[in-house]
Amino acid sequence: MMTKYKYLITTILISIFLSSCDKGIDTVEYESTVYLPSDGIREVAPLLGESVYQVGLFWAGVNAKESGITVYLKIDADSLERYIAVNRHLGSFRLLPEKYYDVPETTVNLSGNCSLVNIRFKNIDETFIDNDYILPVSIESVSPLVHVHPEMKTIFLHLKRFRNVYEGVYKPYGPITSDDNEVVSKVDKPSVEAVTVNANTIMVEGPEPNMLLLLTVKSDRTVEIKSVPPSSSGEETEHDFQAQNIVGYESVYTGKFNHEYQRSWGVFDLYYQYVLSGGANMYVHAELKSWR
């Protein structure tokens, strides 16, 4: 019986304590802070043509008096000049010309803890490479007046290269057979990352160590497959896999543009063959499905 009463008393005391804590939190105010999440330069690869990139604008504070604020943004060339002066060792940065971007809304009404700001990149062609362009986006002012984090008021978007619609992460899977049509292995990796080579070509890891494949999507959505020669791959190998399409089998890409991911979302259905070091021919039928 005594144990029962001790349990009841303990429960009551805990309830009173938690109630007091809740009331205490209700009455405590922490200063509102507005900021752009940035830890220096953020690498961005705009899509050939046009694409949209989103930057998060955040508002922190517990039980702040403000129920909503207006944030004014600007492209801050002065901030970039100061950054370059301090970080000359990082590269020869240049301000991104206005013809390459548009910020549709520089006035953001922020009523929750986060709002996304759309930045539209445009007129990106295949000459857009190795220019070390920077687009500095800064918080200019806030109304009503609240605290702006001094070290997180500007985000520097670094645009050094372009990408095509096929760049992204893929899940590969499929059998590898020998000359006598026996399945000897399979293409099965958690994921592979495809990077842009030109407007219609990506480079992706192949099924063998140090093997890189070039996949070129033609106008009719058929895919040309080649292996990257050793002299071009930069890998420590002298073996040329001599990958090529299998005669009589059509490799194709099927997919459509996904606005959320800002890339084409689909499947490469590939038929190709390659040569091992000993001269044996391997034949692959693998799918690469868009992943993440």
54 and 116 in a common domain: yes
238 and 145 in a common domain: no
In order along its 292 residues, the chain shows pLDDT tens digits of 444 444 444 443 334 334 433 444 344 455 778 999 876 789 999 999 999 999 999 988 644 555 678 999 999 999 999 988 887 777 788 999 999 999 988 999 987 888 999 999 999 999 898 888 999 999 999 998 888 998 899 999 999 999 999 999 999 999 999 998 999 999 999 999 999 999 999 999 999 999 999 999 999 999 999 999 887 555 555 678 999 999 999 999 999 999 999 999 999 999 999 999 888 999 999 999 999 7
Of 102, 131, 159, the residue at which a domain comes to its end is 159
195 and 276 in a common domain: yes
Q: Are 48 and 159 in contact (CB under 8 A)?
A: no
Residue 3: inside a domain, yes or no?
A: no
Residue 55: inside a domain, yes or no?
A: yes
C-alpha–C-alpha distance, residues 93 and 132, integer Å: 5
283 and 179 in a common domain: yes
Residue 75: inside a domain, yes or no?
A: yes
C-alpha–C-alpha distance, residues 71 and 91, integer Å: 31
The answer to whether the bond into 37 is cis (omega within 30° of 0) is no
275 and 199 in a common domain: yes
pTM of the complete model: 0.80
Q: Which residue has 């200019």 as its token pair?
A: 140
pLDDT of residue 112: 80
285 and 232 in a common domain: yes
Which residues on adjacent β-strands are paired with residue 47?
163
Q: How many domains does the chain have?
A: 2
Q: Are 198 and 165 in contact (CB under 8 A)?
A: no
pLDDT of residue 4: 45
Residue 12: inside a domain, yes or no?
A: no
Classify residue 262 as left (phi > 0), alpha (psi -120 to 50) or beta: left
Residue 54: inside a domain, yes or no?
A: yes
141 and 192 in a common domain: no
Residue 199: inside a domain, yes or no?
A: yes
Residue 129: inside a domain, yes or no?
A: yes
Helix segments in 28-154, DSSP class H: 77-86
The pair of three-digit structure tokens given for residue 266, joined into one six-digit string: 């689909």
204 and 115 in a common domain: no
CATH number at 201 reads: 2.40.128.440
Of 106, 125, 159, the residue at which a domain comes to its end is 159
Q: Which residue has 């021919």 as its token pair?
A: 281
Residue 83: inside a domain, yes or no?
A: yes
173 and 83 in a common domain: no
180 and 285 in a common domain: yes
272 and 197 in a common domain: yes
Of 137, 159, 181, the residue at which a domain comes to its end is 159
C-alpha–C-alpha distance, residues 231 and 235, integer Å: 8
The pair of three-digit structure tokens given for residue 180, joined into one six-digit string: 């006598």
CATH number at 117 reads: 2.60.40.1740
Q: Is 51 exposed, middle or buried (0-12, 13-18, 19+ CB in 10 A)?
A: buried
174 and 146 in a common domain: no
Domain membership of residue 223 as a residue range: 168-290
Q: Are 120 and 259 in contact (CB under 8 A)?
A: no
